[in-house]
Amino acid sequence: MSIVLDRSEFFALAAMLKADQIFGLDASRMVPESPEAAQALYDQGRDRLRQRDLIRVNANQEVEIEQGLRNLMQTVINPENALLAVRVTPGLGRQLYLYYERGHQFVEQTLPDENSHHLGTLDSHDALVERLLEIFPLSEAASPDEGFTIGTQSLLEAYRLAGADQRAQAVALLQQAEASDPALAAQLGEAFNAAEFTGNISLLKIVPGRTTNTHDIALAQGPTGSWAITATRDDAVMRVERCNAEVLRHTLRQGLLAMDAPLG
C-alpha cells in the first residue's frame, strides 16, 4: 500500500491511535501549541479522512480506520526497529527518509513537502537495502582497501560544514585534523569539496522505556569514489574507509540482522 496524507490527516490518525511520539518527527513542529488549534487540526483531518473513505463511523458510533491504513500507521507509531536516513545533495538540500519495522515488514515515510506524509511498504530486509542503495547510489566499482582514523570532533565538524555547503571550510579543517593517514584524510577532504552527495544512516532497536545504541554510518560520494564513516570503541576517534555499493549492501544487511537479535 502507498498513500499520501496531509498534515491534518496524519495528525488525526496519530491522535486516534493514541501515539505519544513518532520516531524521526519533531512533535513541536507537528502539534499546534494551543488546544484549540490542535482540535481544529484534528477536526480538519478527520473530515478529510471521511471524505476519502479512509475512516468510517460504525453502527456503535465508533471510528473505524481502513485496515491497510491502520496497519501502516500502527507500524509507524509502534515499531520494533527503526531506521533514519538523511541525504544532502548540493543545490537540493536535505532529504529525510524514515523506516519503521514490525515483523520484517517495513513502512517508509517521506515528507514531500511541509504539509505531506508519504507512506509506503517494503516487505523484506533485501527490499529495504536496495531502496537505501537507490537513495545512496555509491559507485559499484571496486574500491581500494584503504582506511584511517581521525579525531571525532574535527571529522563531525567537517561533515557538518560540507552538509551546509561550506565545503572549503570542511577541506581546511580536515587538512589540519589529526589523522592516522594524512594523505587519505586529504582525499576525504577532496571528496567533501566536490561531493555528489553526503548522508547518514542510523539503525535503532526500539525498546519502550529503555535506551539502546544506534548503529550509524555516514557516507560521502565524491568524483573519485565513496567513503564510509563509522564509530570506534574510542569516542575520540572515528574510522573512515573506502566504500562501494557492495560494501554498503553487506554492512546494511549485517546491521539489520543485528537489530533483530534479542537484547541480552
- Is it the case that residue 259 has pLDDT exceeding 80? yes
> Which of residues 208 and 192 earns the better pLDDT score?
192
> From the CB of residue 188, how many other CB atoms can be counted at a distance below 10 Å?
27
pLDDT recorded at residue 141 = 82
Q: Where are the alpha helices (DSSP H) in the chain?
A: 7-16, 27-30, 35-51, 67-77, 125-135, 152-163, 167-176, 182-193, 245-260
- Is it the case that residue 211 has pLDDT exceeding 60? no
Report the distance separating Cα 204 and Cα 214, nearest Å: 5
pLDDT recorded at residue 157 = 92
Report the distance separating Cα 106 and Cα 83, nearest Å: 10
pLDDT recorded at residue 167 = 84
- Is it the case that residue 264 has pLDDT exceeding 70? no
Per residue in 7-54, pLDDT (tens digit) is 999 999 999 999 988 999 998 888 888 999 999 999 999 999 999 999
Buried residues in 12-22 as b, exposed as e (16+ CB within 10 A): bbbbbeebeeb
User: 11 with 31: CB under 8 angstroms?
Assistant: yes
Residue 258: all three cell numbers together:
543485528
Per residue in 155-191, pLDDT (tens digit) is 999 988 887 888 889 888 988 889 999 999 988 988 8
pLDDT recorded at residue 210 = 64
- 3-state SS assignment for residue 179: strand
**Percent of the residues in the chain that have a pLDDT greater than 70, as a whole number:** 97
pLDDT recorded at residue 163 = 79
At 229, give phi and psi (nearest 5°): -125, 125
pLDDT recorded at residue 263 = 64
User: 174 with 148: CB under 8 angstroms?
Assistant: no
